[in-house]
Amino acid sequence: MRATVIRRSLAATATLAVATVTGCTAQAVDSKGESTPIRTSPSEAPAQPQKAPAHKPAAQKPAVHKPAAPAVQADSKPAGQAPGTAQQAAARPAAPKPVMAPGSEGPKVRELQARLRQLKHFDRSPTGYYGSITANSVSAFQGAHGLTRTGKADLKTWLKVQDLTDVPTRDELYPPTTRQPAKPDSRCLKGRVLCISKTSRTLQWMVNGKVLAAMDVRFGSQYTPTREGEFSVFWKNKDHVSTLYDTPMPYAMFFSGGQAVHYSSDFAARGYNGASHGCVNVRDKKKIAALFDQVKTGDKVVVYK
């Protein structure tokens, strides 16, 4: 029996020796009774990679970091901003608000224009509308008096204009002519005279140096110029019609050949876009009608530049 035990021990030892030498995989048993392959030799191939799980986890999108909404308004200074931007802007005084500016209209604009006309910065009759001509006049005034040239009548400019001028009279606010009449020629200062200036394009009816009426006038073109010099009215015709051009010449007062002072409907309609054939056109029918009644044959006519 002892011999039998010895034989069995030797057989088991031999079996274990064969398993160790061949390098085959032995099975280890875990706690659940399942076998797990193990390797017994350091020279074995690397372990097989593990299989990927049956399903892939959903790819996560990279987080997008949106800036937080500012806690202050866009035109205010953000926290941490370098000094001297918004704070300095707030500290600067606001630009003076204009009392009048391009586009303004009304009695105050008319007064501004009349006062600028007193200062020779506005050469038209006041209209009550603040357009480009008024803006240029204001800008010129500002430049002449050390003010910022904006063309807008801010409070400082308006007070300066008032300080340098008189309160406009009604005739200054509502003058009879579009342009300021020129200084009368010396020949107009005595007697009864139709004093006509080509420069200002105005006619002034004067008696012994005093202006009784004034009106806008238009002259002949360069091809049919109005004659200059001293003349006298030699004929009046209220309903005259030109025999040369077959056109009406109401309230005609002839002073040199076929040239006369008379009303022109074309002048009334088109203004200075047209010209006469040498006559002195008047566009205000009421004024020329009143003048026709006052002027007498023999009264002087002076046409000058």
User: Greatest CA span in the chain, whole angstroms?
Assistant: 182
Please choose, from the candidates 194, 218, 190, 202, the residue with its C-alpha nearest in 3D space to the C-alpha of residue 294. 194
Dihedral-angle region of residue 117 (phi above 0 means left; psi in -120 to 50 means alpha; beta otherwise): alpha
Give CA–CA dist 40/28, Å, rounded.
Answer: 11
Q: Tokens for 39, please give them.
A: 């390797």
pLDDT in tens, 109-158: 999 999 999 999 998 889 999 999 999 999 999 999 999 999 999 999 99
Better-scored residue on pLDDT, 12 or 257 = 257
Give CA–CA dist 293/296, Å, rounded.
Answer: 8
Please, which residues have CB within 8 angstroms of residue 254's CB and are 6 or more apart in sequence?
A: 233, 234, 235, 236, 237, 260
Give CA–CA dist 43/41, Å, rounded.
Answer: 5
Please choose, from the candidates 52, 16, 156, the residue with its C-alpha nearest in 3D space to the C-alpha of residue 98. 156
pTM of the model: 0.58
Backbone φ, ψ for residue 161 (5° rounding): -60, -45
Backbone φ, ψ for residue 90 (5° rounding): -70, -30
CA dihedral defined by 263, 267, 269, 271, rounded to 10 degrees? -150
pLDDT in tens, 250-302: 999 999 999 999 999 999 999 999 999 999 999 999 999 999 999 999 999 99
Return the pLDDT at 123.
87
Please choose, from the candidates 221, 292, 233, 304, the residue with its C-alpha nearest in 3D space to the C-alpha of residue 263. 292
Q: Tokens for 172, please give them.
A: 């200054």
Residue 160: count of CB within 10 angstroms of its CB: 17
Return the pLDDT at 90.
54
Please, which residues have CB within 8 angstroms of residue 20's CB and are 6 or more apart in sequence?
A: 40
Q: Which of 62-71, 91-100, 117-126 has the lowest mean pLDDT?
A: 62-71
DSSP H helices, 83-169, are: 86-91, 107-118, 132-144, 155-164
Asked if the model's pLDDT at residue 59 lies above 80, the reply is no
Better-scored residue on pLDDT, 210 or 36 = 210
